[in-house]
Amino acid sequence: MESPDKRWARILAEYLGKFRIELPRFPLVLDVGCGNAAVWNYLGVAEYLKDKGLGMPHYIAVDKEEAAFQKAKSQLGELVTFLACDAQTLSDYVKGSFHLALCTHPDLTTSPQGPKMWQRVFTEVAGLLDPRGCLVVTSFWVQDHIPLQVAVDRAGLRILYSGTNIFPGRIFDRASDGEPLQYDKYILLARKLSGPEG
Ligand SMILES: C[S@@+](CC[C@H](N)C(=O)[O-])C[C@H]1O[C@@H](n2cnc3c(N)ncnc32)[C@H](O)[C@@H]1O
């Protein structure tokens, strides 16, 4: 099977291309609730940018638990700025106008604070997105994906696409109702309300 970074480069080429989202050279990229997946996400973004001749990203990866990204931080070193903070108040920690924000597998259903907490995170992300920027979120089961759609909408973003991802990863488990749990099975793209139509 294709490695997750190559798969992510393809996901970005497919979905950013489909919705005509163009990144500038050396874009500012945010990875929220990154965990150790920051490694694959970063490499996927870097590979996508290389294919487009857009240089290296300025990549900021955030997770509320330092331990969640420890391995990724040791692997990526200086390439990525890692930040341990609660993304519900992200604008207290990072400034800027992000061209791309990624959030892979936010735990809307299983997290103790649930969808309301993630809604606050997406509201912060919305405030930090460039007007031409894009948020890309993936989930591994429908139980997260449906509340995710609601949370992103309530955060004041405009959903461009929400549905199955044509480049999912491997199935790693099965839910109690039989649904196969698969990395990046569903994908959602959203923009600021003030951004260009698309
Ligand atoms: C299911 S894990 C997904 C990790 C990674 N993105 C992936 O795809 O494997 C959800 C991550 O979100 C982080 N998280 C949860 N709430 C957060 C918050 N309020 N601020 C920042 N990170 C948060 C958790 O610590 C955890 O690492």
Res 198: pLDDT: 55
Q: Is the CB of 109 under 6 A from ligand 1?
A: no
- CATH 3.40.50.150 for the 4-19+29-192 domain, yes or no: yes
Q: Is the CB of 114 under 6 A from ligand 1?
A: no
Domain chopping of the chain, boundaries: 4-19+29-192
For 110-121, how does the pLDDT look when each residue is reduced to its tens digit (9 = 90+)?
887 889 999 999
Question: pLDDT tens digits, residue range 40-61?
Answer: 999 999 999 999 999 999 999 9
- pLDDT value for 1: 76
Q: Is the pLDDT of residue 24 over 60?
A: yes
Position 196 pLDDT exceeds 90: no
**Ligand 1 pocket: which of 34, 82, 123, 182 to mutate (most atoms <8 Å of CB)?**
34
Q: Is 86 in the pocket of ligand 1 (CB under 6 A)?
A: yes
Task: Label residues 22-51 b or e (16+ Cβ within 10 Å = b).
Answer: ebeeebbbbbbbbbbbbbbbbbbbbbbbee
Q: What percent of the chain has pLDDT over 70?
A: 99
Query: Residue 113: what pLDDT?
Result: 83
Cα(15) to ligand 1 centroid in Å equals 23
Q: How much distance in Å is there from the Cα of 49 to the middle of ligand 1? A: 25
Ligand 1 centre distance from Cα of residue 53 (Å): 31
In tens, the pLDDT along 101-140 reads 999 999 999 887 889 999 999 999 999 999 999 999 999 9
Mean of per-residue pLDDT scores for the chain = 96
